[in-house]
Amino acid sequence: MTENVILYNPLADNRRGKENAYGAPVPGENRYVDILTVKNYSELFASVPEGGRLVVCGGDGTLNRFVNAVANEKAELPGEVWYCATGSGNDFLKDVGGEKGGEPVEIRRYLCDLPVAEVKGKRYLFINGVGYGIDGYCCEVGDAIREKSDKPTNYTSIAVKGVLWGYSPRSAEITVDGKKYEFEKVWLAPTMNGRYFGGGMMATPGQDRLDPEKKLSLLVFCGKLRIPTLINFPKIFKGTHVNLKGCTVLTGHDITVRYEKPTPLQIDSETISGVSECRCVSSLLLKE
């Protein structure tokens, strides 16, 4: 029987990544590899036997770790890369029409020509989006909670508390393909490669991750008062927030967001604290 290589992240789904990977529906003889232990991706890819499959098991953060590690090594992706969503958010899978717990899906075409986020002098490929605002705050608070407890993190509760009192909206200067915009009372300013982030929020309903023009979409979600903002926030899960007066969607290839003071940011659910500026660049510009 052909052997598959199952690459899993033990930290996924509140540290249930290994357990979830072993329970994933991947038929055949499987060899399990902890993504945290991989030192050479070229060797790992070469070790997949003919007829076998490389299957990545985890969530959005796992995919982010995978593509950045492969890029940093300058390794070449194999002809096929398969994916089983075993994370907690699984926004990528939702965007491409898969279901958690389902059969592996082939995703290589989604991992090529990814956009880059430039943060604090470093560059990161991103799969779904770069959340900059209260979503980054929620990830930062969630990380602190997980350090103290193994219980599942309730991000909805964190977000509600953040809107009511924990987080303050910022003024922002935003530049899209050289054109500058000024916004006040900004709660969210995610730059998106896909439609979803934050565990099912449809931030940019019109975004296409396979867009031939490789454009990115930026959502600017503004709100002057906390209670009306909290009432409107759930609309983002259905994408109807884009009809609100305080919401703006901009598209382009080169997007920079500058906040008036440092703000947490998340890239595919991976947190970076104290960010004053983030630039996102589409793969089209990176090739020029």
The single-letter code of the amino acid at 62 is: T
- 169-207 per-position pLDDT tens digit: 999 999 999 999 999 999 999 999 999 998 889 999 999
> Quick one: DSSP state of residue 149?
-
Q: How many Å is the Cα radius of gyration of the chain? A: 19
- 9-26 per-position pLDDT tens digit: 998 888 889 999 999 988
- 23-61 per-position pLDDT tens digit: 998 888 899 999 999 999 999 999 999 889 999 999 999
> Quick one: DSSP state of residue 133?
B
| Cα–Cα distance measured from residue 260 to residue 255, given in angstroms and rounded to the nearest whole number | 17
Token code pair at residue 3: 């052997």
Return the closest-CA partner of residue 102 out of 8, 29, 26: 26
Q: Which residues, 6+ apart, have CB-to-CB distance to 98 below 8 Å?
A: 83, 85, 105
Q: Which residue has the higher pLDDT, 88 or 86?
A: 86
C-alpha 179: how far from its chain's center?
26
Residue-level length of the chain: 288
Q: Which domains does the chain have, with CATH numbers?
A: 3-111 (3.40.50), 116-286 (2.60.200.40)
Helix (H) or strand (E) holding 158: helix 155-161
The dihedral over CA atoms of 132, 274, 270, 191, expressed in degrees to the nearest 10, equals 20
In this prediction, residue 146 has a pLDDT band, given cuts at 50, 70 and 90, of: confident
- 72-82 per-position pLDDT tens digit: 999 999 999 99
Q: Which residues, 6+ apart, have CB-to-CB distance to 240 below 8 Å?
A: none
- 91-122 per-position pLDDT tens digit: 999 999 887 778 899 999 999 999 999 999 99
pLDDT given for residue 125 in this prediction: 97
pLDDT given for residue 237 in this prediction: 92
- Cβ count near 96 (within 10 Å): 18
- Cβ count near 84 (within 10 Å): 25
Helix (H) or strand (E) holding 43: helix 41-46
Share of the chain above pLDDT 70, in %: 99
Task: Indicate the pairing of strand 191-192 with strand 129-132.
Answer: antiparallel
Cβ contact 278:256 at 8 Å: yes
Q: How far is CA 76 from CA 51, 171, 225, in A?
A: 18, 41, 49
